[in-house]
Amino acid sequence: MKFDAELIGNRIHFYREREGISQKELAKRCNVSQSYIAALETGKSNFRQIRTLNKFAIYFGISLDDLLFENLEVNRETLESENVLVHQVIKNLSLLPFNKIKFIYEVIVEFMNYNNGTIK
């Protein structure tokens, strides 16, 4: 399957601008170079690894599909109505080491089990 580099670049740019961060900051957060972000955003470079795009998606609090597929519309109205708390949790989790994410997940599972699957 071939992905549209320009579409991906436009979406990375859109979400980065929505977050109000620079290319340099996004590069630092996702462990890539600023020049790579610039090349992606201008459609001058294809992504190197799906893992890198997944880092962007996690940071932005979106699915990988939102970056890859043309038939998914980036809609400002929808984005503005996102739950801010959930977005912040996802972004913060992406910065944690795996063992801490796993621990948090286990706590959530225990909490859900304790409440019989309902949050009270």
- Name the helix (H) or strand (E) containing 53: helix 50-60
* Tens of pLDDT, residues 18-62: 888 999 999 999 999 999 999 988 877 766 678 888 889 998 988
* Tens of pLDDT, residues 71-116: 545 455 555 555 566 677 888 888 889 999 999 989 988 887 776 6
For range 4-21, the mean pLDDT: 86
Are both 34 and 78 inside the same structural domain? yes
**Closest by CA position to 13, among listed 67, 58, 54:** 67
d(CA 55, CA 68): 13
Cβ atoms of 59 and 29 within 8 Å: the answer is yes
Which residue type is seen at 14? F
- In order of 7, 9, 29, the CA distances from 94 in angstroms are 24, 21, 9
Task: Judge whether residue 120 has pLDDT over 60.
Answer: no
Are both 100 and 62 inside the same structural domain? no
Report pTM: 0.57
Are both 71 and 100 inside the same structural domain? no
Q: Which domain holds residue 11?
A: 1-82
Number of structural domains (the chain) is: 2
